Amino acid sequence: MRRWWPVVALAGAVATPALAQDAGVRFCPNRPSLGASGCTTRPGQVQVEIAGADWQREDDETTREDLINSEVDLRIGVSPHSEVQLGWVPAGTLRSRDRTTGEVTRTSGIGDVTLGWRRAISHPDGEKLSAAIQPYVTLPTGHGEIGAGDWSGGAVLPVFWQIDDTWSLDFTGQMAAAVDEDRRGRHFDATGVVGVGYAVSEAVTANAELSVERDQDPAEHVVRTLAAASVAWRPTKRTQLDVIAVAGLNHAAPDARVALGGALLF
């Protein structure tokens, strides 16, 4: 995580002179939600979203796995209603421990690259009732088990409703051709995320979410259910720091996840 905070600090310093012109800023990060926002970045602007540390634990009868990733996502406005997206996992470590023998193995390396395009259907500024469509494709650039092992693709449909100055509701649906567990070929995967947002103050927002995923992997069809709570703090109109905690609600879901990060608008 330490490697990213100098970047965050530098970018925040660069953005400071522009605060006088922030009246028309459109800043709506996907972070730290399990879903996605419904707005798009203004033409000519670049939004950077960073996961400085993203830790996930998953246990089963034989193995305990800890996965730690860092991630960078770029969102670049190309028209009043659309943006292109580039996501990359520059570093990841997977630690596996055999619960019977105690043997530990580690795999480290870079992860996959995701390319996407978001087109706003309504209210690209994220106000009132905003919605978008976002097709994407993930390229298998990752090293070993840090990457999926094959390409995947899909589409995301985020919908956000700003009820008033305090409360908001959101839904994100996703359909994907996900990579099979054996890392060869693809299968159908669908996810729905429902969230409630509460503005604690002008700078601090809290969210609670529920996610249900139907994964039709040929090896085993499973349903994963997750609950998440997150907090985002915006010290300026162009910067955000955030944290999310996720808990698995059934046997098929990862047991726990915690991610720290932030976002910057240039």
Q: Mind listing the pLDDT tens digit for each residue in 46-98?
A: 999 999 999 999 998 889 999 999 999 999 999 999 999 999 999 999 999 99
What one-character-per-residue DSSP string does 161-210 give?
Answer: EE-SSSEEEEEEEEEEEEEPTTSSSEEEEEEEEEEEEEESSSSEEEEEEE
Q: Where are the alpha helices (DSSP H) in the chain?
A: 5-15
Q: Mind listing the pLDDT tens digit for each residue in 16-25?
A: 343 334 446 8
pTM metric for this prediction: 0.86
Question: Sorting pLDDT into bands at 50, 70 and 90, what band is 100?
Answer: confident
92, β-bridge pairs: 69, 109
Rounded to the nearest 10°, the torsion over CA 161, 162, 163, 164 is 180
Please tell me the predicted confidence (pLDDT) of residue 95.
94
Q: Mind listing the pLDDT tens digit for each residue in 153-173?
A: 999 999 999 999 999 999 999
Estimate to the nearest angstrom the gap between the alpha carbon of 136 and the chain centroid: 13
Please tell me the predicted confidence (pLDDT) of residue 257.
98
Q: Mind listing the pLDDT tens digit for each residue in 112-168?
A: 999 999 999 999 998 889 999 999 999 999 988 899 999 999 999 999 999 999 999
Q: Which CATH superfamily is domain 5-265 in?
A: monomeric porin ompg (2.40.160.40)
Please tell me the predicted confidence (pLDDT) of residue 14.
35
Q: Is the pLDDT of residue 5 over 60?
A: no
Domain boundaries, the chain: 5-265
Q: Mind listing the pLDDT tens digit for each residue in 171-225?
A: 999 999 999 999 989 999 999 999 999 999 999 999 999 999 999 999 999 999 9
Q: Mind listing the pLDDT tens digit for each residue in 31-47?
A: 999 999 999 999 999 99
Please tell me the predicted confidence (pLDDT) of residue 214.
97
What is the average pLDDT across 252-264?
97
Short-list 94, 92, 93, 74, CA closest to 84: 74
